[in-house]
Amino acid sequence: MNEIVEKEKEFTIDSIPEPEKIEDVIFSLMVNPNLSSINYFNDFSEMNISPDSIGDSDTDETGLFDIDASGTCMAMSTHAFHHHLEYDPQIATEILVSRAARKMLCFGATPIAISAFLYHIDFADPNGQFIASGAKKGLENAAQKFNLKISDRKIRFDHFSEHGPVPPTIIVSMMGAIEKREQITSHKFDKKGNNIFMIGRSVDDVGSSEYLEFYHGIVNSPLPAFNIDDELKIQNALRKLHEKDLIQSASPIGKGGLFFTLLRSAIPNGLGFDITSDAEIRLDSFLFGESMGRILVDVDSEKEDDFVDVLTEFKIPFFTLGHVTKGEIRVDDISLGFIDKMTTGV
């Protein structure tokens, strides 16, 4: 663990060379299996899963279950995290719970309850006790912030005295409720010309990202930028946007960063996007960094003023990215081709 801490102290984004061609990063990451999105809950077919199935369901990989004939649904999702449990288990757990709640709120569900499972730890060892104690604190703090009920045992353990190369991992399962199935907000872009916004603030941060691990081969790096109070403010603003029906789609910016979140939104309906990056942020960080507290939305132009008013009321930073296109993908006026060429390997 000490070696990891020392390497993290040495790590800065300035030590990561900026890629000469952003296309090289994109097509390298597209073969990363961690960036495929598959709905395991709602697809029990025996057919082989194709990478082209990315984003086929309205709620991505969150499961939906009808409760009664009135349209009330239960939502369920499972999330896992292995970064930094040995170093900062409390913050790592808070990040995971925040990510789960933000994802559920994006499509209109209200998060209600959560349970957690610690995997591959030896809780008879002092380090295992440190991980378990920190994870419990993180779970309780995040549950209090987001008004979640926790299962009675709070965290379940799987005891491994020698887990070998498998890192300690925490898995959370979250349950939520949707009053009416027709109120679900999809993650899919569905209309050319809609404006695309990023809710939240971008920072120069690539810590613990797929880009850093898969493209640069750097495993030990800091946790992604995160502030749980900012998460709470953004999630409260998102509730208001849903209440006023001001967003056409919503997606948490997660694995693969902004660019792959855009792809997951664009691919299902064969649409594209034309965006402009933030000149104050490195392009690789802007597109592939996985800092927390950000949501991708598209907004009908007729609702844009009301959308901005809500974010201003909540004092939430946002960034105007661009607009949905008929199929072309453009970043900073450079064409990266068309969406139908972006599905292979994703």
Query: From CA 115, how far away is CA 44, in angstroms rounded?
Result: 24
Q: What sign results for the dihedral spanned by CA atoms 209, 43, 156, 167?
A: negative
Contact 156, 287 (CB under 8 A): no
Residue 123 pLDDT > 80, yes or no?
no
- The pTM (predicted TM-score) of the whole model is 0.89
Question: Tokens 């300035």, residue?
Answer: 14
Q: What is the pLDDT of residues 154-177, one digit of tens each?
A: 777 766 666 566 788 999 999 999
Provide the pLDDT for residue 8: 55
The 8-class DSSP code of residue 185 comes to P
Among 73-82, 186-195, 325-334, whose mean pLDDT is lowest?
Answer: 73-82
Both structure tokens of 72? 């009330």
Q: What's the pLDDT tens digit per position in 254-269?
A: 999 999 999 999 999 9
Q: How far apart are CA 184 and CA 105, in angstroms?
A: 10
Which domains can be identified in the chain, with CATH numbers?
60-184 (3.30.1330.10), 195-341 (3.90.650.10)
Q: In what order do the strands lie in the sheet with 149-159?
A: 63-66, 73-81, 169-178, 110-121, 149-159
For residue 309, give the H/E element and its range. Answer: helix 304-313
Distance, CA of 300 to CA of 191 (rounded, Å): 9
| Block residue for tokens 């953004």 | 234
- The C-alpha R_g of the chain, in whole angstroms, comes to 20
Other Cβ atoms within 10 Å of 10 Cβ, number: 9
- The amino acid that residue 283 corresponds to is L
> Could you read off the pLDDT of 290-308 as tens digits, one per residue?
999 999 999 999 999 999 9
Banded model confidence at residue 342, pLDDT cuts 50, 70, 90: confident
Instruction: Please check whether residue 198 is in contact with residue 296, taking contact to mean a CB–CB distance below 8 angstroms.
Output: yes
User: Position 121: which residue type?
Assistant: I
Whose structure tokens read 């930028």? 225
Beta strands 73-81; 63-66: pairing state? antiparallel
C-alpha dihedral sign at 323, 197, 178, 266: positive
Average pLDDT over the chain reads 87
